[in-house]
Amino acid sequence: MVELSQSCFKMDKDSNFSKRSKKEHKIRSVGTYSFLRQYIAALRPWSLSASLIPVSLGSVLSYKIESNFSLLIYLCSCLTALSVHSAGNLVNTYFDFKRGVDNKKSDDRTLVDEILTPNNIATLGSLFYIFGCFGFGILCIISPAEVEHLALIYFGGLSSSFLYTGGLGLKYIALGDIIIFLTFGPITVLFAYLTQCGQLSTTTLIYAIPLALNTEAILHANNTRDRETDRAAGIVTLAIYLGETGSYILFCFLLFIPHVVLMLCVIHRSVFFILPVLTCYEVFRVEKEFRAKDLRFLPKKLAMYNVKFGIAYIIACFLSI
């Protein structure tokens, strides 16, 4: 009877230990998953289409104009552009926090809410710059382009991603809009085109403008939303300079001009350019939200619109050139 009792006690104990182990494992799994989610959120993945779309456009232009396209080069170009973009987002988070721009009312509260530490962000940012350089190194080997040309554009883009808020802090002296327009339009499209065919072409710069204007619209909506907190932090953005009315006029220009230009392309070039124009129904919706000062989620909505417009624009270019 005593042996039976001891055996039951042992089985009970083993069962409790097993349940406790499973619970601890589940907690660790949830903790790891949550930790990874925090890191991924810090990268602002919703914004990364602003790099992927220009790389895709540059690659399509290379195929249609020069009849050169390599899937491996395309994937390496995507890795390089996305890595540098992610690093730039982290640099922005780091320096906005250090300069007191981010607060409890900010959209990005990764450091304000102590979700991650500044050291976490700095380390992750450095890691993504290393990934970007790794991708660039592969491109130097497999791309037909001259290394000097690749390096000029790549390190120009990398420097822009850092100097936007780091170093000179161009964002804080109303020059951030110019940097974003150039980086996520002409520079990225030209880089992707160069990696594919080894040639430089001014034609790519023209095709990059609609994408650049759309990406700038995302930044301008973000800066308009954060105008008061930016002013309180002592920094100057284009949205602050322009004021409420001027910011609205610029926003409409950035959104509608690409569609006006593409309608002209429909008339004079190819009917396929109607494809990106068909996304204009979203333009009227976001314009209405901007006018109503409903700006909290507008940058993310614009990023989603940018994906739809970008894909339609790339398809139109593929079918028209």
Q: What's the pTM?
A: 0.85
- C-alpha 143/C-alpha 196 separation (Å) is 6
Over residues 231-254, the pLDDT tens digits come to 888 888 899 999 999 999 999 999
pLDDT band at 26 (very low <50, low <70, confident <90, very high): very low
The rounded mean pLDDT for the chain is 85
The rounded distance, in Å, linking the Cα atoms of 142 and 157 is 20
Annotate 76-124 with DSSP letters as a single string. HHHHHHHHHHHHHHHHHHHHHHHTT---TTSS--TTTTTSS-HHHHHHH
Domain range 48-320, its CATH number among 1.10.600, 1.20.140, 1.20.1250, 1.10.260: 1.10.600
> What percent of the chain clears pLDDT 90, i.e. is strictly above it?
56
**CA 214 – CA 249 distance, rounded (Å):** 15
Tokens of 16: 């409790």
How far is Cα of residue 231 from the mean position of the Cα atoms in its chain?
24
Please tell me the predicted confidence (pLDDT) of residue 106.
Answer: 66
Burial class (CB in 10 A: 0-12, 13-18, 19+), 101: buried
Mean pLDDT in residue range 271-289: 92
List the beta strands (DSSP E) in 50-167: none
pLDDT confidence band for 32 (50 / 70 / 90) = low
